[in-house]
A and B are shown apart, each in its own frame.
Chain A
Amino acid sequence: MLLAGSGPSLQEAAAYAASCHPSVSKVLVADSDRFMHPLAEPWARLIQLVQQRENFSHIVAASGSFGKNILPRAAALLDVSPVTDVIEISESTKFVRPIYAGNALCTVRYTGAHPCMLTIRSTSFQAQPDSTDSKAHKAPISQVDLSTFEEDTIGKSQYVKLTSQESERPDLGNARIVVTGGRGLKSAENFKMLEKLAEKLGAAVGATRAAVDAGFVPNDLQVGQTGKIVAPELYLAFGVSGAIQHLAGMRDSKVIVAVNKDADAPIFQVADYGLVGDLFEVIPELLEKLPEKN
């Protein structure tokens, strides 16, 4: 595993990584102010540097905004084609990835030189439980030598800030239940009703692109082809029409419920349970009748 950052919390993370799973054989730590923020330019250079020394067969990152930003740049530095957004690993060089917003699946074989670089869609893979063995396997931790990390050859970028919403809601990416609102919610104010429902269910709140574009909610709630990909046990879509691009982000949910006034809305074609009705009546009724979460 490769970790980069700076300071004591980095070393703590490294200690955790070293014993989190028996298949971790080594932890590499790059400790420097350069890595205080997740900037692509130093990170890609770091991956290139480490690969040139260690010659790994595969380099893998999760397909979130961090992995998507840095891995392709690192691949270009190493002159290889990465495979991004992998949903299935069939063999060590054979992968499946979605194309056309998930309306087709493409099986590819990587025929290039080492390293084979991948970003993987975390919702398509099971998380490994953390090692609970007290005589836990502890992989050696080694510090990456950054003395040849030439500063001036990297394009200059500077991290300014991250603007995010504070929330006690579970993380959208791994919540067991997701409650999503679309354009049918009609206003930011109305999303509060959805949040109450999410609170009652212990759910995360999601949104369609339309709802984010309209300013009802911030962008980090967007579920879809170009937003977050989610695969919860239960996905409840209120006032969501079901555009292809939204379905791309939630079609792997175990159970899909749709509530929409329009009986012809495409969402009903993917919903396991569809209720044709007014969400402004359905949500209050649900709030009243749903059992309290344990």
Chain B
Amino acid sequence: MKIMVAVKRVVDYAVKIRVKPDKTGVETKNVKMSMNPFCEIALEEALRIRESGLASEVVAVSIGPAQCVDTLRTGLAMGADRGIHVESQDGLNPLSVAKVLRALVEAEKPGLFILGKQAIDDDCNQTGQMLAGLLKWPQGTFASKVTLDKEKQVATVDREVDGGIETVLLDLPAVITTDLRLNQPRYATLPNIMKAKSKVIKKHTPGDLNVEMKSDLEVLQVTEPPKRKAGVIISSVDELIDKLKDEARVI
């Protein structure tokens, strides 16, 4: 079975982002970019499934500008077998991305598609669900545990939901989106980084795949959230209780 994993290049999670003064967006020039943490977890899960003998190949795909190749090389260094870069200068939106991924699924025919639950830039949490809908595949979102049964061709997925952990059984092929506790991704070792240089990255454009990268959403402005009033440091529990009772009046 082949597993496909989508990986997104985003502003690194530790970067303190700045909103551009003209309010058109967030400053990304000269800012450290990395593989979206949820996508790393998705790739790690695919690699573990392959290593356990339940899959034969892991294909990583990334959509976006030329620099996405760097993100794919990281994925290949982690252990993906080959990469696909769909080059697009246009802004990415979940529906167009899902349509691109669907086109790739129709060509590659994987048995499992794993994505991160959300990208830490737009925090949309939509692409996996949309891909599953377009493919009419079952979906296991916010996965904290995945167990495959090759014989029965099903995946048991534990999902992190508001009330606790929900367990669902999905017929393969299926789409899974990863939550933070699914696994701890591996670091790419130096020998693997070297090996990754000779792995293949195939190039496409959305046009090749008959997808138009268009959006139903127009960004009007990007602003900073309202700032909280500065707080005070207090010196004792007695003072805290007084403040909460008499000043803040919350108890």
Known: A107-B223, A218-B164. A234 touches B251 (CB 8 A): yes
Complex contact B165–A234 (CB within 8 A): no
Contact with A along B218-230 (1 / 0, CB 8 A): 1111111100110
Complex contact A77–B161 (CB within 8 A): no
A interface residues, tally (CB under 8 Å): 90
Interface set, chain B 97-119, CB cutoff 8 A to A: 98, 117-118
Closest CB of chain A to B134's CB: distance in Å? 5
Measured between beta carbons, the chain B residues less than 8 angstroms from A256 are 228, 231
Complex contact A65–B125 (CB within 8 A): no
Closest CB of chain B to A204's CB: distance in Å? 13
B151, CB-defined interface residue at 8 Å: no
Q: Please, could you name 12 A-B residue pairs with CB atoms under 8 Å apart, sorted by A?
A: A76-B134, A81-B216, A84-B124, A155-B138, A158-B169, A160-B168, A162-B161, A201-B251, A219-B164, A272-B228, A276-B233, A285-B237
Measured between beta carbons, the chain B residues less than 8 angstroms from A65 are 142, 159-162
Q: A-side interface residues toward B, CB under 8 Å?
A: 39-41, 44, 64-66, 68-77, 79-85, 94, 98-113, 153-165, 173, 177, 201, 209, 212-213, 218-220, 225-226, 228, 233-234, 244-245, 251, 254-257, 263, 268, 270-276, 282, 285-286, 289-291
Contact of B244 among A234, A245, A268 (CB under 8 A): A234
Measured between beta carbons, the chain B residues less than 8 angstroms from A112 are 216-217
Closest CB of chain B to A257's CB: distance in Å? 7
Measured between beta carbons, the chain B residues less than 8 angstroms from A233 are 250
Complex contact A234–B248 (CB within 8 A): yes
Complex contact A160–B219 (CB within 8 A): no
Closest CB of chain A to B78's CB: distance in Å? 21
Query: Other CB < 8 Å A-B pairs besides A80-B216, A109-B218, 16 of them?
Result: A65-B160, A68-B125, A68-B129, A69-B139, A70-B129, A72-B133, A80-B95, A100-B17, A101-B123, A107-B220, A108-B220, A159-B166, A162-B166, A234-B248, A268-B233, A275-B240
Bin the interface of chain B by size: 35 or more
Measured between beta carbons, the chain B residues less than 8 angstroms from A105 are 222-225
Known: A99-B26, A100-B120, A162-B161. A77 touches B133 (CB 8 A): yes
